């Protein structure tokens, strides 16, 4: 090792899902939305505003902050936006988890949490999920430097009821509790209802899933104005954490089209409920999903073999080589046609065609 490498901050990097680009592939591996973003978003992209692009973007991102405040019935001072919820979460880790005590998050959860903790030198403890993959709220009633968990959790897809989420927040008044609601629009109860009541609650959401804008990178947080102020203090004005002008316009167009949002999330939920039936018929079991993906396992087939066989067929799902979940696959909900292709292949693979 070179001498200078002693001074490098070393982290175990996050392993993102593959982003292949094979013609005709069926991509069910990174929980993207199978439908395009709202028509207004595409219009905002094809009719760029040259004058707006000439200028720096508004560092406060006011147009989008205001649109979100209106949509979620909060004051603009309670809204923070960023370049994808990954950036918002990273910023929140940096801002709020500045304690010697370990932060707590589930052992099976979004695998970026330990990466940020390492990056920002935040001590952390992983809290084991119960045998049925649910979060045990009582395990979070102890000294800690902060708490973060997704609801629904990923990759299990299980949602916690709002009363349980509230219990965790209520038992931890001295630290910030971050509820990562990347998948909340597919059927879980949002903790947004609680932000007026708990000043230590930060709810983080994304445009990547229910608003079909993973490619644009838009995320946001809603919480007490004091939390939001601290986040804004940490964020620099014009660096990569600032959303560009086009993303701001597209984000506003996405938030304003409530009908399209309802229509597409309803369609995905319907396809998911049908997927539960079809996959159960094939012998799969799974925790009850409230997200846009299913976490499936089969008593007779190894997840890794299925993953490979599907991949060769051009159907991409997610496999995690991680203890306890290495016989599961995470399957994003695609269009009905894509899901039919998945069932058809599985039927044939299992000799049930
Ligand atoms: N939280 C969870 C639980 C996720 O699964 C993801 C998506 N991989 C994110 C946050 C980040 O989403 P984005 O940065 O696209 O907003």
Q: What is the ipTM of this complex?
A: 0.99
- Ligand 1 centre to CA of 30 (Å) is 9
Residue 127 has a pLDDT of: 98
pLDDT in tens, 223-266: 999 999 999 988 865 565 778 889 999 999 999 999 999 999 99
Residue 353 has a pLDDT of: 75
Atom of ligand 1 nearest to the CA of 109: 3
Domain boundary residue among 213, 238, 256?
A: 256
CATH of the domain at 133: 3.40.640.10
Whether 7 is in a domain gets the answer no
Domain shared by 197 and 271, yes or no: no
Domain shared by 276 and 135, yes or no: no
Strands 201-206 and 177-180: parallel
Any ligand 1 atom below 6 A from CB of 306: no
Q: How many residues does the chain have?
A: 353
Domain shared by 177 and 266, yes or no: no
CATH of the domain at 295: 3.90.1150.10
Which one, of 111, 180, 126, lies nearest residue 152 by Cα? 180
Whether 281 is in a domain gets the answer yes
Contact 189, 162 (CB under 8 A): yes
Alpha carbons within 13 A on the beta-carbon side of 281 = 12
Any ligand 1 atom below 6 A from CB of 84: yes
The verdict on pTM exceeding 0.95 is yes
The segments of the chain whose pLDDT lies below 70 read: 236-240
Residue 16 has a pLDDT of: 84
Any ligand 1 atom below 6 A from CB of 45: no
- 178: tokens are 């971050």
Residue range of the domain that includes 265: 20-36+259-349
- Ligand 1 centre to CA of 31 (Å) is 9
Is 158 strand, coil or helix?
A: coil
Task: Provide the number of structural domains found in the chain.
Answer: 2
Residue 61 has a pLDDT of: 93
Strands 318-319 and 146-150: unpaired
Domain shared by 62 and 161, yes or no: yes
Whether 278 is in a domain gets the answer yes
Q: Residue 140 and residue 122: Cα distance in Å, rounded?
A: 17
335 exposed, middle or buried (CB, 10 Å; 0-12, 13-18, 19+)?
middle
- Ligand 1 centre to CA of 89 (Å) is 9
Any ligand 1 atom below 6 A from CB of 264: no
């Amino acid at each position: 090792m070179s001498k200078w490498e002693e001074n490098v901050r070393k982290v175990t990097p996050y392993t993102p899902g593959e982003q292949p680009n094979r013609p005709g592939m069926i991509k069910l591996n990174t929980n993207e939305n199978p439908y395009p973003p709202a028509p207004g978003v595409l219009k905002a992209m094809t009719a760029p505003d040259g004058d707006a692009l000439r200028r720096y973007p508004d560092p406060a991102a006011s147009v989008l902050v205001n649109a979100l405040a209106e949509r979620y019935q909060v004051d603009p001072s309670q809204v923070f936006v960023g370049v994808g919820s990954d950036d918002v979460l990273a910023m929140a880790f940096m801002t709020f988890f500045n304690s010697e005590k370990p932060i707590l998050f589930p052992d099976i959860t979004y695998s970026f949490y330990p990466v940020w903790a390492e990056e920002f030198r935040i001590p952390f403890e992983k809290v084991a999920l119960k045998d049925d993959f649910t979060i045990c709220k009582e395990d979070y009633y102890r000294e800690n430097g902060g708490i973060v968990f997704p609801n629904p959790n990923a990759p299990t897809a299980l949602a916690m009821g709002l009363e349980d989420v509230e219990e965790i927040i209520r038992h931890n008044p001295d630290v910030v509790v971050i509820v990562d609601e990347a998948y909340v629009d597919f059927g879980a109860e949002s903790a947004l209802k609680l932000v007026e009541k708990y000043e230590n609650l930060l709810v983080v959401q994304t445009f990547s899933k229910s608003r079909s804008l993973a490619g644009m990178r838009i995320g946001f947080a809603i919480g007490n104005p004091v939390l939001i102020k601290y986040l804004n203090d940490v964020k620099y004005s014009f660096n990569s954490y600032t959303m560009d002008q086009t993303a701001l316009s597209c984000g506003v167009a996405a938030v304003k089209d409530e009908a399209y949002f309802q229509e597409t999330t309803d369609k995905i939920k319907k396809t998911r409920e049908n997927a539960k039936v079809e996959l159960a018929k094939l012998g799969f079991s799974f925790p009850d999903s409230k997200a846009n993906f299913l976490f499936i396992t089969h008593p007779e087939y190894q997840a890794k073999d299925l993953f490979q066989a599907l991949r060769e067929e051009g159907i991409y799902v997610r496999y995690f080589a991680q203890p306890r979940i290495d016989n599961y696959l995470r399957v994003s909900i695609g269009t009905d046609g894509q899901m039919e292709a998945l069932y058809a292949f599985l039927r044939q693979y299992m000799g049930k065609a």
